[in-house]
Structure 1
Amino acid sequence: MKPSGSHPRASVAATMRSMPDPADTDGLTVGQVATHLGVTVRALHHWDETGLARPSLRTAAGYRLYTAGDLERLHRIVIYRELGLGLDRIRVVLDDSTADVPGALRTQRTQVAERIDRLQQLGAALDRMIDAHERGLLLTIEQQAEILGPQWNPDWPAQARQRYGDTAQWQQYAERSASRGPEDWQAIADAVADLDRALVHAMDSGVTPGSAEANQLVERHREVFSSYFPLTRQMQVCLGRMYEADPGFAAHYDGIRSGLATWFRRIVDASARAHGIDPDTATWQ
């Protein structure tokens, strides 16, 4: 097998440099050949069984012995395999005198280039995923201010990671964040702003907790918030109480309309009770 982490060009060059003197190679055992070539005994047995490279000699006891000619063929197999050709293609290159070897290598070169491009894209995606897990929000400070408004504090994502970074919800949030650009976050911000306006309008209109309109708003909140991570009803109850009790969240909602944080908590509690959940014992699950 190809040594882990080896560079194909370096491996091919090493294989060619390691070719022993043909005069010393008649009658080599499988183990000796494996050592010379840097392949496994299992690979040699497989190539023998499939007819790709069979030893020319056998001992009286039936053990395989390789000649200099056998070893030359094996070296060529290793070289082409390092270049990425499959064993079937290697058989054609070695045994078919009409085979277009340069054409086969050009085809392989094209496939390698395509794989490199895919790996570069994968590398970029991994960089974004790592960044998302570490930062949460993949927006510049200027983009955050433009999309999330002047009240947004760019330190909040770092604070959230410090507080929630070891939770499943942060991981889900990061996974979604990695695939989002400014347009996606703008759509989410617009949905949140529309919801806030709907909550204010409902509270000002005297909508009561437990009513159909209030329950629809609770469901809408769960749907909008699930843009960040899946939000269960029990988790929503915990959020509603945090909105009321946490000074930062309370200031945000009460800054939109005085008393909004408490009113929102009440409609969430009423909806939870309608679904058989006791808000006083709800947990983050």
Structure 2
Amino acid sequence: MDYSVGQVAGFAGVTVRTLHHYDEIGLLSPGQRSAAGHRRYTDADLDRLQRVLFYRELGFPLEEVAALLDDPAGAPPGRRPGEDPAGHLRRQHKLLTGRIERLRKMATAVERAMEAQKMGINLTPEEKFEVFGDFDPDEHAEEAERRWGGTEAWAESRREAASYTKEDWKAFTEEMNGIHRRIAGLLAEGVPADAPEAMDLAEEHHGFISRTGYECGHDMHRRLGEMYVADERFAATYEAIRPGLAVYMRDAITANAARAA
């Protein structure tokens, strides 16, 4: 069976002008002509057109598409170059798989950029790595927004974060790391979480949040402490500093909140 140029244009969603151009450059020449000399496309021509459009969708220029379709490598005995359907399918699958992976990485990068924007952290990726190291401040953005997105504290934290420079973040990170190291030191020494020195460090942690992020009442601070244990992402951050630190932090924060009340 054969088809007119208009029919093929309708099947493929391209213009007649495009099919004429493909014919003129030898990319897709119809296998037959009518008695009046009009182009008539065969099923084999439609198969080739499908491959042309596939490679074009992947961004290949027309000259490279022609080379791919007419590549003699892998053509089985008895077939002309470019006539190995299985070979083209394998190539298409490989190209699609690669493109899917690239698009997945691009989507992830865009999602992380969106999260960073929500958090108001206006640092480049290089600056974030320099400041935070292996810890990713964007990782908890979605959870934080879900919990507090409609609160004044959330709005305040975004305003504050948007104003900070790379040097500010480096100073804050070092200060927080210092608090964590001292609390971990108390844990290592066996000091109870409700001992005055542990509660004092919990209060310092509370004050740091209020000063650099948002006004954090002791009740909110206590709920943060609960999240440090309940949320595996936060727990992993503290457990990496010292095993048992997530629970110790929570207990010290809870004791300090009770003392403040």
TM-score by length of 1: 0.47
What is the distance in 2 between the residues matched to 1:190 and 1:270?
Answer: 25
Counterpart-to-counterpart distance in 1, 2:199 and 2:143: 31
**Aligned pairs, how many?**
146
Answer with 1 or 2: which has the greater Rg: 1
Say whether residues 1:249 and 2:234 are aligned partners.
yes
Tell me how far apart the structure 1 counterparts of residues 152 and 117 of structure 2 sit (CA, whole Å).
11
The residue that corresponds to 1:267 in the other structure is: 252
Read off the aligned partner of 2:227 and give its amino acid letter.
Answer: M
Q: CA RMSD in A?
A: 2.2
Aligned residue among 164, 173, 176 for 1:189: 173
Post-superposition offset of 1:206: 1.4
Q: Which residue of 2 aligns with 1:220?
A: 204
Distance in 2 of aligned mates of 1:154 and 1:132: 6
User: Given residue 268 of structure 1, which amino acid in structure 2 is its aligned partner?
Assistant: I
1:163, CA displacement in angstroms? 5.0
Segments of 4+ moved more than 6 angstroms? none
Using the TM superposition, give the Cα deviation of residue 150 of structure 1 relative to its aligned residue in structure 2, in angstroms.
1.7
Query: 5 Å matches for 1:1-285?
Result: 134-152=118-136, 154-157=138-141, 160-161=144-145, 164-226=148-210, 227-276=212-261
Q: Distance in 1 between matches of 2:221 and 2:192?
A: 18
TM-superposed deviation, 1:264: 1.1
Deviation of 1:273 (Å): 2.2
Uncovered stretches (5+) of structure 1, i.e. residues with no partner: 1-130, 277-285
- The one-character-per-residue Cα deviations of 1:206-265 (angstroms, maximum 9, x if unpaired) are 111222211210111111222111111111110111101111111111111111111111
Q: Distance between the aligned counterparts of 1:202 and 1:184, measured in 2?
A: 28
Runs (5+) with no aligned partner, structure 2: 1-114
Question: What is the deviation of 1:132?
Answer: 8.4
Identity %: 32
Q: Deviations over 1:13-40 (max 9, x none)?
A: xxxxxxxxxxxxxxxxxxxxxxxxxxxx
Q: Is the alpha carbon distance of 1:188 and 1:225 closer, same or farther for their aligned partners in structure 2, counting shifts above 3 Å?
A: same
Q: TM-score scaled by structure 2? A: 0.51
